[in-house]
Amino acid sequence: MNKPAQSQHSSNCNTTPIVLTIAGSDSGGGAGIQADIKAISATGGYACSVITALTAQNTLGVTDIFPVSPDFIEAQLDAVFSDLNVKAVKIGMLSDAGVIEAVARKLRQYQPEHIVLDPVMVATSGDLLLETKAITTLKSELLPLATLITPNLPEAIALTRSDNHAAPVPSVDSSDRETIIAQLQSLNTEAVLLKGGHWETESQSTDYLLTKSDTVTFSAQRIQTQNTHGTGCTLSAAIASYLAQGYTLTGAVAEAKNYLTLALKFADQLKIGQGHGPVHHFHAFQPQSGDLA
């Protein structure tokens, strides 16, 4: 069954909606932990963080990565969970199998209500960012714990191939999309949000929320802007924020999709760096100029 999304929300106003982001740091501020904290804050959550890696990064690219040890990642997780009532967790960049195992071990120990996994696996160039062993570990250790995983098309292909390798993105008019959807629905995880941003020939950007028995679509006008850095981080963090506030999964995805669309719509009001700048996380809190209707 394929049906359009409807926003759904149940009140959770008696508790502070605390959201933990587990991800790498982006020194340029557009993606990673920095984007997550902005998105969570802008959508009504309280953000706390566990840093898995430091990157030397700006709008032009990544020049260096300094990984954080699994032991220290576990120490950060213990510090957060032993004190804060975390309602939802967003997971981004995890550098290797050891880090993935450490995060999974602590999540099984503390059992947060919602886990949103953004499987950062494939670079814009198409190169895999994780070794095959790490992808296998991600699939076996974290996918079963996740409320939702949010792959883009190259990541979805890597997750569904038996050899864990990326593959060319299929054309929009081929039958490959339905094949990928069926394969994603067979993964050992609760739900998958297949992001459609890589099918750039379409005027609409359509994402597919997949459960074992259902498909819900979320469509929005495709925004033409160079400021797209951190879109995946922003969307997954916003979903976690809305889940922490009591939204249903469908409602959280719908609200987050709308938030990201507006953040892209107003992104050109930001003049950040010389390359691909960030989306406008705080567009709702700043005066807007020009006719953007």
Catalytic residue among 106, 195, 257, 265: 195
The reply to whether 28 belongs to the active site is: no
Tell me how far apart the alpha carbons of residues 260 and 273 are, in angstroms, rounded to a whole number: 20
Q: CA-CA distance, 32 to 232, in Å (whole number)?
A: 9
The label of the residue with tokens 């890597």 reads 158
Query: Active-site residue among 228, 234, 250, 261?
Result: 228
Known catalytic residue at 233: yes
User: 224 CB contacts (<8 Å, ≥6 apart)?
Assistant: none
Residue 254, token pair as written in the block: 């719908």
Sequence-distant (6+) residues with CB within 8 A of 88 are: 17, 18, 19, 20, 45, 112, 113, 114, 115, 116, 240, 241, 243, 244
Q: Is 29 part of the annotated catalytic residue set?
A: no
Q: Which of 52, 55, 147, 231 is catalytic?
A: 231
- Is 228 considered catalytic here? yes
The neighbour count for residue 13, using CB atoms within 10 Å, is 8
Query: Are 168 and 174 a contacting pair, CB within 8 Å?
Result: no
**Whether residue 211 lies in the annotated active site:** no
DSSP characters for 257-286?
Answer: HHHHHHHHHTGGG---SSSS-B--TTGGGS
Is 197 a catalytic site residue? Answer: no
Contact at 8 Å (CB) between 17 and 46? yes
Of the residues 232, 246, 251, 277, only one is catalytic, namely 232
Kindly name the residue from 21, 48, 59, 233 that is annotated as catalytic: 233
Please identify every residue annotated as catalytic: 195, 228, 230-233
